[in-house]
Chains A and B, each alone.
Chain A
Amino acid sequence: MKLNNPIDTVENCRYCLMCRHVAPVGHITKDETLTPHGIALTVASQRRGLIQWNRETVAVIYSEPDGGNCRAHCITDQPLPEAIAAVRAELTAQDLAPAIVYRVHEALEKWHTPFGEERLAPATGRAEVALFVGDEAHYLWPSALEGALKLLEAVGLRPTLIGRGRSSGYLASSLGFPETATRQGQELLAELSASGASRLLVLSPGDYFTFNQLYPERLGIALPPEVALNDVASVLAEALADGRLPLRASEEPTPYAYVDPTHAVRVPQRFDAPRALVGAVMPSAPLELFWRRERAHPVGSTALQFTRPELADALTRARLEDAKNRGAELLICEDPGSLYQLKQHAGALSLRVKGLYELLAEHIAC
């Protein structure tokens, strides 16, 4: 159900410090303003006329990654990320957002993605199962899709692909363009409906969150009730547990860590699935990062790479350093956007990055 007046949430969060310990940007900058409390107090103060929107104050509003850590930790489930998206929508409507926000929006309108310059037509295939590809898997890390398709085939699923090269609407929503996000979402839902699928698969927790929560709460649209939503890692983990996914053990001796991708905290029920999968092929259990599971910080796959790239990069470096400190040499993750972001900086720390789906696909036992 669409949230009513989400911005009012800032009245609760402005003097609450209870999710500070998991707030990613606050943690890496140590800046009180860039914490849930600081951002909420900024918005609450603007509403009271204590500050005006200007370049500097607006920059604060665009410094939050929309990764869901605050809400995931909030016992009373305050929708602060939704409030921030709504504030951003007010800013874009008044032409007050940073220039980059409009540039990304233009690309979203024109190409459905900021990552490529072609507008891919909606799919026309029909199948029982659809797989949402999105723009990050298409442009940034295509081997994740190839790997996932092989694995799904191994467990008897041949999905039709929807949303190839197209954003789910998350980015538009996060930047403060709910109408664009709604339009993109509705187009995807139409594509899904045309496919006749009764089951929608997604590659990442971010996409799961978008279809499951963002659409209804922020945009007032929803998957048809008869369509089941599953994430590929959970489907594969279930098949593995049932003995339907035969995997060969790898002899790769490299110490490795599993990196919970961006938005993982929003779908806590799937923390174990990728770990079970990676553990089935690698000779040892993954090294666990300090920032893991319910406290995992975002790495890529948010609007922050556009609005505050230096913060997005600092968050990524922090995850990589975390892995390095734990003794990892190889990082494994399933989310195309997170993989891409990790890869940009991994070399500097002599770390390698590998997609989970590709890794597993290489180890399907015939």
Chain B
Amino acid sequence: MKSSIPSQMLASELEEIVGEAHISTKETDKLVYSTDWFWVPQMFLDRGEAITTPDYIVRPGSAEEISRILKLASAYRVPVVPWGGGSGSQGGALPIYGGILLDTKRLDQIIDIDEVSLTVTAQAGINGAQLEWELNEKGLTLPHYPASANCATLGGYLAPRGSGTLSTKYGKAEDLVLGMEVVLPNGDIIRTPPVPQHAAGPDFYRLFLGSEGTFGVITEATMQLDYLPETRLFRAVLFDDLHNAIEAGRLMMTRRLDPTVIRLYDSKSTASRIKRILGHDLDGAYMVLGFDGDPDIAALQEQKAMEICLELNARDLGREPGEAWWEHRYDFYYPPQNLKLPWMYGTTETVATFDKIEKLYYAEKEAVEQQFKEWKVDFIAHFSHWFHWGSMIYSRFIIEEPPEDPREALELHNRVWQAAMTAVLENGGMVNEHHGVGLKLARYMRRQYGDAWPFLESLKRAIDPSGIMNPGKVGFGVG
């Protein structure tokens, strides 16, 4: 076996930085870190085909160590891919050019919980559920509740701009950030002050939200907290048609009834998922409503919301199905209830303003269902994160019998995505609302942003002139 001198040099220098116990070139580690939650790499492994692995897996223990790693990577011109929990569905953490896989999970400390201002400052590699348990012990909560809290990290919440179950009231992960510490590609460590808001120039820290590791490594964040709510009220209603259901959601949002949750399932989701997980056999559009906080205020908000729903001919299903949904909301993610290989699936989620949302839903549905009829494609959707001006559509396609050959499967997968994204872009939607871009959506970024895209590219060049940070992701370096 030949030894590559630069590769051995780099390994030894990395070891000097993080210590022998925190660098690995083991076969199993390379395999396990070769895939995140993106369907494509999982599919290749499922079909017994090896994929690109990282050359080194390093687990730094501080921002200073990360700074030294990035300086080293710049010197050797080696790619660095930040890794949190590897739960991203977009291929953002894939080491597509090998290089250094930088696992942030050793940065798992809570630095401060400020019980007066209600903030927490924590290192970026902390596990979401563990952070939440710590906060709960003080009666506090970080109101970002993604279904991946058990496995994702704080940095992974922020880097792809995630949304949680309660985002309709509390905002996306990015809306909860007050300040961050980031290691830049040149090794500089920068911090932004954790203040509620300010006007001291551009909000440059926001650049790192959504940069998915292409601009640097987030090492620490100060996040807004809330008290654990005194009450959480859930209720379910059933609409005969989606149009009225969307209108009900729109009225609740534009009248600022402040729902914690509006989750609206289209009729196919209602018939499949709600039936399978909650056991309710219903025909129509199932909507879960949630209100929380002060019991009197929440009850009043719920009452007003119910008035809107009933006026739009909804059937009140009562509390039990709403509460059961809250109780079982993550059951959907446990195998074998979840989507699983060898099936083909993808979450083609999108977001738009209210004036476009219904048309967008039908356009995407039709594009996918019509063009891939022969593959018996299933298109299901729910509307899960609502804003005062619009909503997101969490749409999914599922093909239960895709081609066995991985290359044919990939080709079909990309065609379905192409159809869905074309419909989205032609109907005023965004290519995503919360899963990030990663590798999966990289090829749509130029089209998404048009004339603004070169500006983003020039920012990337300015921040990361050597192009070491997570190359090929978010569309940087992609045609």
A56 within 8 Å of B (CB atoms): yes
Asked, given contacts A15-B37, A57-B27, whether A21 binds B87 with beta carbons under 8 Å apart, the answer is: no
Closest approach, in angstroms, between the C-beta of B276 and any C-beta of chain A? Answer: 12
Closest approach, in angstroms, between the C-beta of B49 and any C-beta of chain A? Answer: 8
User: Is there contact, CB below 8 Å, between A17 and B42?
Assistant: no
Contacts of A295 in B (CB 8 A): 133
CA distance A147 to B35 in the complex (A): 52
User: Is there contact, CB below 8 Å, between A45 and B335?
Assistant: no
CA distance A18 to B24 in the complex (A): 25
B48 within 8 Å of A (CB atoms): yes
User: Is there contact, CB below 8 Å, between A30 and B108?
Assistant: yes
Pick the residue among B83, B106, B108, B151 that contacts A18 (CB under 8 A): B151
Give the segment of A31-39, A109-117, A248-256 that binds chain B: A31-39
A51 within 8 Å of B (CB atoms): yes
Closest approach, in angstroms, between the C-beta of B319 and any C-beta of chain A? Answer: 22
Asked, given contacts A21-B129, A76-B335, A78-B335, whether A31 binds B24 with beta carbons under 8 Å apart, the answer is: yes
User: Is there contact, CB below 8 Å, between B106 and A50?
Assistant: no
CA distance A343 to B330 in the complex (A): 39
Asked, given contacts A21-B130, A21-B151, whether A16 binds B335 with beta carbons under 8 Å apart, the answer is: yes
CA distance A74 to B331 in the complex (A): 9
Instruction: Closest A residue to B106 by CB, please name it.
Output: A30
Asked, given contacts A31-B29, A41-B31, whether A21 binds B335 with beta carbons under 8 Å apart, the answer is: no
CA distance A18 to B147 in the complex (A): 9
A364 within 8 Å of B (CB atoms): no
User: Is there contact, CB below 8 Å, between B341 and A17?
Assistant: no
Interface flags for A1-31 (1: CB within 8 Å of B; 0: not) read: 0000000000011011111110000010011
Contacts of A50 in B (CB 8 A): 31, 45, 48, 50
Interface flags for B104-115 (1: CB within 8 Å of A; 0: not) read: 011010000000
Contacts of B95 in A (CB 8 A): none
Contacts of A54 in B (CB 8 A): 27
Instruction: Closest A residue to B332 by CB, please name it.
Output: A75
A42 within 8 Å of B (CB atoms): yes
Interface flags for B44-85 (1: CB within 8 Å of A; 0: not) read: 011110100000000100000000000000000000000101
Contacts of A156 in B (CB 8 A): none
Contacts of A16 in B (CB 8 A): 333-335, 338
CA distance A50 to B18 in the complex (A): 29
Apart from the given pairs A21-B150, A30-B125, 12 other A-B contacts in the complex at a CB distance below 8 Å: A12-B336, A16-B335, A17-B151, A21-B129, A30-B108, A32-B83, A32-B86, A33-B26, A33-B32, A41-B31, A45-B31, A290-B133
Q: What are 23 A-to-B residue pairs whose CB atoms are below 8 Å?
A: A12-B340, A15-B335, A16-B333, A16-B335, A17-B87, A17-B148, A17-B151, A18-B333, A20-B85, A21-B129, A21-B149, A32-B29, A32-B32, A32-B83, A37-B32, A41-B35, A42-B31, A42-B32, A48-B46, A56-B26, A75-B330, A76-B337, A290-B133
